[in-house]
Amino acid sequence: MILKTNEKTDTIASFQPTDSALFFNSIDLTPWLNLKDSGTYNENKLKEGLWIEFPIDTSNVKIVKNLKANKIFEPEIVKWKGNYSSGTREGVWIIYSASLREKPYFWSKTRTTEYKNGVKNGVEVYFEPFSENILMKVIYLNGEPIEMKK
């Protein structure tokens, strides 16, 4: 499935192209056709308990200056696993990255992040791919980074 610039899709409810993504002629969402978020909603229709989510990661977007180049943006495939309480992230969330863009996916833990009341609060740890070796730690207080350790 190829999503053209400014084309809407209901495949990924939270998909919002960044300004950088708009430099690409299209975005390839094929891997997300079989990756479905899983979890439950409470009586108020808010996310509750353990969830596994597959957001579209546009953090590694590279700007294409030649718009006629027919470039296709391939977002990184990531998996987020953690708990919600009344629709807000709580506790430790684990973020994985897929090494391939097609099945079978080989997931590597890339970071863990602590949340309180839906904002980063605590330690965010970045890992080397396919390793428990720590690359960096960032300490957050109420969503703001206050210290970085390598």
The full 3-state SS of the chain, as one line of letters, equals CEEECCCCCCCCCCCCCCCHHHHCCEEECHHHHCCCCEEEECCCCCEEEEEEECCEECCCCCCCCCHHHCCEECCEEEEEEEEEECCEEEEEEEEEEECCCCCCCCEEEEEEEEEECCEEEEEEEEECCCCCCEEEEEEEECCEEEEEEC
pLDDT of residue 12: 41
Poorest-confidence range of 3-17, 43-57, 63-77, 136-150? 3-17
pLDDT > 70 fraction of the chain, expressed in percent and rounded: 70
Please state the pTM of the whole predicted model.
0.73
Per-residue pLDDT tens over the stretch 85-108 = 999 999 999 999 987 777 788 899
Return the higher-pLDDT residue of 114 and 58: 114
pLDDT of residue 76: 78
Domain limits, the chain: 2-149
pLDDT of residue 60: 56
Poorest-confidence range of 12-26, 67-81, 125-139? 12-26
